[in-house]
Amino acid sequence: MRVRELAEWLGATYEGDGEKELTGVAPVETAGASEVSFVGTRKAEAQAESSAAGCLLVPLEWPSSSHRTVIRVPQPRTAFARAMSRFYPTAELQPGIHPTAVVGANVEMGALVYIGAHAVVGDGARIGVATSIGAGCSVGKRVVLGEGCVLHPNVTVYDNVDIGRGSILHSGSVIGADGFGYVMEHDRWHKFPQVGRVEIGDFVEIGANSCVDRAALGVTSIGEGTKLDNMVHVGHNCRIGRHVVVAAQTGFSGGVVVEDYAVIGGQVGIGDKARIETRATLGSGCGVLSSKIVHSGETVWGTPARPLKQHLETLANLSKLPDLRREVAELKRRLAELERSA
C-alpha cells in the first residue's frame, strides 16, 4: 500500500513521498523503511527523529519536516489501529456448517453463518447474519446471537442468553453459568435456583476464560461497547453499563452496578451491591467493600478503596513509620534516663 493510499483511506493528509510503498506496521523505535508507525506518547516523540520508519502517523500540530514522510491525523493511536487492520485483515471464514457440528430443532439462521467442527447449537436458537461460531463451541437452547457475532473456539453459552450484534467472545469464556447463590438450612448449604438470564449488548468483547453468571432472578446485563479482559468474573444480577473497560482478573460480586464509561483496573475486587458511578476509575488491585458507592468521575485506589489523593497520603505516611518508630524508641530511652536521674 502506498502512503497516499493509506492517507486517503484514513481521510487524512500526508507530507513527503506519497508513492512510498508500505508493507507493514511496527513500533516507532524498530520500524523500518517500508513500515508505518505512530507518535502517540512523549517517549515516541523523542524517538521519532531517529526512527527509520517509512511513514509516521503524527498529531495535526506536528512540526513540518523536509526529510520525513508523515500522515497527519487527530488521534495517531486510533488511526494506527485502523491502519493495522489494512495490513493484517481478519481471516474470513467461508459460510457453512461443518459436517461434525450438531444443530438442534427450530434453529433460525441468517445468511453467511459459519459453524465450526464439533460445535453444538441448541433447540430454538437464533443466529444472526454473518455470525461465526468456532470449533467446539456450545450454544444453548433459545440463545440469540446478533448479526456479525464471533464466538472463538470452545466458548460456552448456556440456555436463554441474548448477545447483541458485533460482539466477540474469546476462547474459554462462559456466558450464563449459575450464579453463586446458596441458603443455609439445618447447617447445610442448599442451592438457590438460578433461573434468570444474561443479556449482552452490541459490540461487547469478552476475553478468554471470563465468566458472566446468569441472574438468580431477573437479568445480568452488560451494556453496548463494554470490553472485558481475560479472566474477568461478573456475578449474578450485575448490571454493567455502556463502554465500560475492565482489565484482567477482576471480580464483581452479585448485584454490583457499574455505570457508563467506568474504567476498572486489573485484579480489582468489588463486593456485592456496590455501585460504581459514571466515569469513575478503579486502580489496579483495589478492593471495593459491599454496598460502597464510588462517585461519578472519582479515582480510587487501595483496599479498602479510597480517593487517590487520600490513598497516596496514606502510603506516604506509611513510609515514615520506620523513622517514627526510631524516634519513639529514642524518646522512651531519654524518658527512662530522666526517670532514673530523678
Q: What is the CB neighbour count within 10 angstroms for residue 317? A: 10
Rg (CA), the chain: 27
Residues written for the chain: 342
**Integer Cα distance of 271 and 288 in angstroms:** 6
**Residue closest to 290 by CA, chosen among 310, 275, 311:** 275
- Which of 152, 170, 233, 236 is catalytic? The answer is 236
Active site (annotated) includes residue 233: no
CB-neighbour burial class of residue 135 (10 A; exposed 0-12, middle 13-18, buried 19+) = middle
**Which one-letter DSSP state was computed for residue 214?**
P
At residue 307, the 3 state secondary structure works out as strand
**Residue closest to 261 by CA, chosen among 226, 305, 212:** 226
Query: Long-range pairs for 130-139 at CB < 8 Å and ≥24 separation?
Result: 130/95, 132/93, 134/171, 135/98
**Catalytic site positions:** 236
